[in-house]
Structure 1
Amino acid sequence: MGDLVTVRLVLHPMTVSEAERVVAGELDGDGRWAPGYPMKGDVSAARRFLDTCANTDDPQPFGNYEIRRRDDGQSIGGLGFHGPADENGSVTIGYGLIPSERGKGYASEALRALLLFARARGVTSVKGDADHDNVASQHVMMAAGMRPTGQDQRVRYFETAWSDATTTADPHS
């Protein structure tokens, strides 16, 4: 599976060896990691990805992606699916950026691309959540087209859904 490319970013599907390096905290051989990457969430996502690969198989295209800047190729965060679509065609997503890259629109750009990608592959809805105090993440999801669907004591829930799962939009733009 190839990279997903946006105007400013490359969403690179994580391989098993890349996930193992993230979990171990071993700098990649190409020196692609921006200072501060990987974060705790990236390590947790890489562990979940490795567990999935070991227990079922590589979940791509519904796996993890490194968010890389196009201009220098450095990894500045991650996003991805918590697993393949369920029986209703729904997936759950997560994402994060290193602190120095927040507030630049990268997370919304990456999430919009991932939503288009999911829709083009037959997904009917995408869900996510953010802690109540994580207003920036809530704004990212709304900027990408997700809408609030509820909340509990800890988080606010978001979703985007399509009545049909086909699109002519190019998920790589």
Structure 2
Amino acid sequence: MRELGGDQVTEAVAGCVAALRPAVARDWTEVTAGGLDWNCHETALHVADDLVAYAGNLAGRAQDRYVPFELKLDEGTDNSGLLQVIETTGALLAAAVRTAPRHVRAFHPYPFRSADRAGFAAMGIAEVLLHTHDMTQGLGLPYRPAEELAESVLAYLFPHVQPGPTPWRTLLWATGRGELPGRAPVTDWRWNNNLVIPAERLDLVGIRPAEARDLRLGGDGGFEWIEGGPYEGTRDAAGFLLKAYEGGVHRPEFGVFALVRREDGRAIGGIGFHSAPDDEGRVEIGYDLTVAARGHGYATEALRALADRAFARDGVRSLFATTEVANIASQAVLLRAGFSKVSEDDEGLAFELRKK
């Protein structure tokens, strides 16, 4: 799967325009867009409106709402002009994505009220792919985007959805636009930008399946790491995340997080859950830091933030962690974060933190 950026936004928009151009002479206001309540003209305008809104929020670093402006067509704009507007607003989003630093986040309401540049690129691409499908269905035109684009949209925005053998069909099914053998129809859906948990000096940035795959294959996962990173434990955890995603059991709120230092936007380690809580509300955690980041209290800070977030959720009653007998530093981190030692044997020590 590909990392999503400005080039992929441009590719999606070009595919949309090419698919719709053969029907520019038709009256789009008289044709319903697929299974939507909108006609094709309204749907095309919606695509352009979303593209420029995403560009505006990301470029303007909006934090609590959409930037207050509205896209309005000149009177008498025909379908060719409308396609030009889609091209232009797509170019604006592509430029905003290319120029935004990796760590910058801006407002989007679902589900955690922010998205980074990859998230905005993914949302823009999703709007283009899905609504081009809707419009071409109504207009009776052929359309099938690149499977790699659909695969990346799923891995960035639908981490809770098990990927299927054909990404485009899976994306259509996940958004209530088609069927997949063995899966119930989808009637209610929403995409899922990654969670960021703030700590005092760090942000715990949720790692998405697309980024986990890159980390597992030896890449940087889209993060800028300090010297020595990412450490082996983070790569291993990314592999477990990817396996859960491919098995359809990944729950992103109980996933893996990169520890990103707020002062410079650089990643220094990883932390996360081994899985979702069990029936008793117990969930195991793990963490690691690059060597250069150790000894500054970052692990304790991150562990406290993760624990607070976990205990704020219903159904989580205790956190559990293990460490080797010789790893005195890790044991000290757990004790400083409020954990208590609950067992010890030749293989290691176990610690637990219970919800108060």
Q: Calculate the TM-score normalised by the size of structure 2.
A: 0.44
Quick one: distance in 2 between partners of 1:64 and 1:126? 15
**1:20-39: CA deviations, max 9, x gaps?**
1111122345x612221111
Q: Is the counterpart of residue 157 in structure 1 residue 350 in structure 2? A: yes
Runs of at least 5 residues in structure 1 that lack an aligned partner in the other structure: 164-173
Per the TM alignment, residue 97 of structure 1 is displaced from its structure 2 partner at its CA by 0.1
> Which amino acid in 1 is paired with 2:329?
A
> Which amino acid in 1 is paired with 2:260?
R
Q: Identical aligned pairs, as a percentage?
A: 36
Q: Is the counterpart of residue 37 in structure 1 residue 251 in structure 2? A: no
Name the structure 2 match of 1:3.
Answer: 196
Q: Is the counterpart of residue 88 in structure 1 residue 280 in structure 2? A: yes
Runs of 4+ aligned structure 1 residues displaced above 3 Å come to none
Name the structure 2 match of 1:166.
Answer: none
Q: Is the counterpart of residue 50 in structure 1 residue 242 in structure 2? A: yes
Give yes or no for contact 1:25–1:38 (8 Å, CA) kept in 2: no
Q: Is the counterpart of residue 107 in structure 1 residue 299 in structure 2? A: yes
Give yes or no for contact 2:212–2:221 (8 Å, CA) kept in 1: no
Q: How many residues align?
A: 162
Answer with 1 or 2: which has the greater Rg.
2
**1:46-105: CA deviations, max 9, x gaps?**
000000001024321000000110111111100000000000000000000000100100
Name the structure 1 match of 2:334.
Answer: 141
Per the TM alignment, residue 162 of structure 1 is displaced from its structure 2 partner at its CA by 2.0
Quick one: distance in 1 between partners of 2:202 and 2:236? 22
Give yes or no for contact 2:220–2:230 (8 Å, CA) kept in 1: no
> Which amino acid in 1 is paired with 2:333?
V
Name the structure 1 match of 2:78.
Answer: none
Q: Which has the higher contact order (CA 8 A, sep 6+)?
A: 1
> Which amino acid in 1 is paired with 2:197?
L
CA RMSD of aligned residues (A): 1.2
Name the structure 1 match of 2:289.
Answer: 97
Quick one: distance in 1 between partners of 2:274 and 2:292? 25
Q: Calculate the TM-score normalised by the size of structure 1.
A: 0.90
Task: Judging by fraction of residues, say which structure has more helix.
Answer: 2
User: Which of residues 25, 28, 32 in structure 1 aligns to 2:218?
Assistant: 25
